[in-house]
Chains A and B, each alone.
Chain A
């Protein structure tokens, strides 16, 4: 059997794939956080809860309305994103003129409310969401067995990341977003409806989280607390990558997933902490993050 540094190839590749899939979620979520932070200057603490709402919406939509996975993948980000639009329009906008810490507090409070409400109805044990039939099973690649659904998650998450990157870096709307991130007052003086841009940006970021939630539903138990544990790691990823760049968020997310996966192979005890160790290292050597811009 082929060995890599004393570990069977199949085990190594298995953990690498697992890490990549986790990394894809980190990338999707940190991307949304970075986009929201860029324009609103708010650390969206509700991001994990909004990811969880995405998973729950898929679960409940299937259970009560018969909405299948593919439709959910399309509809849920829109619905949860629209919910985000309402949150921005009626709550966040009211405190936009205050210190941005209030935005952090408000979104943190919202996260607790969403989680608490769902715990009240569904408990914390978590429900199973069936993997769509066509994505069940796996592919035998000869050197490893690749579960089809994980491969799909990787492809879908990366496609969504690239789509977001394209929208922000290559379109006119994206240019508005980038410029608004730098100087929203001047954008307003050019005649750009910045309040609307802010609302749509928040909605988009929330929609991205919900998309990740739907992707995650067949993979992890759907529970009200599934987002909060993930969000801590995603914050660390954002700190490592820095807030500066879209591509940076994607690359850092994937890289951290891989590092975490490989740590599981070689020193499993550290797999839960390795990302935070990297974070400490990055903060010591390059406080603005790997892709952050020096102020």
Chain B
């Protein structure tokens, strides 16, 4: 085997890499939340961050968006080291963030909410495509954003980052508190997005929702990734995982 051949797969895996988080520490004021998080996400992959409440999953997403106090370590998005970047430059690398509290703006109607986030790259979905995916939002486009039901607000929070042309989505607890029929709809949406080639990082409590969708699962505890489980390993590891997540 010559050197060129040996290096080719390495090169290839690097260019396929969408996100690499290395030895990430994060702090809110005095409190040290993340203690050296390491993981990577390949282009087009859907990975989950699993773990108990307080394990540091939401903080990991917020750290990637530069929304926490202080961070050390390394976060490489699409080949760009982002640790020193200003918060408003990070989305422009093609990142869409959906916060746990959904962040629907009460002073804007549904359509204004939808049109609010600036375009970060070309190739985002058009308003028509979004309304085709979420017909409820079209029906209620003139309603005040926060007058929507929880499920509709979640659809809106997802839909508005699809318009921006983001290629990687960071989704925080999108099924929390929603009816099973809505959760089912969200699962369908995620499958469609994956087919479109989107890279997705899903923070999820609802393991039954996440399991069939994800390529890999990262289990977090005490501000660290403690385990990586691929979709193929999942059936044999399920009981172990359940005990770790305390479900």
Contacts and interface: CB of A to CB of B under 8 A. Distances in A.
Contacts of A190: 91, 97, 116-118, 161, 164
A185 interface: yes
A181 B116 CA distance: 14
Contact of A182 (B99, B105, B112, B118): B105
A191 B105 contact: no
A175 B112 contact: yes
Contacts of B92: 191
B108 A191 contact: no
Given A176-B116, A178-B108, A179-B108, A193 B88 contact: yes
A130 interface: no
23 contacts: A175-B108, A175-B115, A176-B116, A178-B105, A179-B105, A179-B108, A179-B116, A183-B103, A183-B105, A186-B99, A189-B67, A189-B90, A189-B97, A189-B99, A190-B97, A191-B88, A191-B89, A191-B90, A191-B92, A191-B120, A192-B117, A193-B88, A293-B106
A188 interface: yes
Contact of B87 (A172, A181, A189): A189
Contacts of A104: none
A189 B91 contact: yes
A187 to B, nearest CB: 8
Chain A interface secondary structure, helix, strand, loop or mixed? Answer: helix
Contacts of A183: 103, 105
Interface in B96-122: 97, 99, 103, 105-108, 112, 115-118, 120
The prevalent SS among residues of B at the interface is loop
B174 interface: no
Nearest to B97: A189
Given A182-B107, A186-B99, A191 B118 contact: yes
A190 B124 CA distance: 14
Interface string B52-86: 00000000000001010000000000000000000
Contacts of B115: 172, 175
Nearest to A186: B103
B34 to A, nearest CB: 18
Contacts of A194: 88
B118 A192 contact: yes
- Which residue among A178, A183, A185, A191 has the maximum number of chain B CB atoms within 10 Å of its CB? A191
Contacts of A186: 99, 103
Contacts of A293: 106
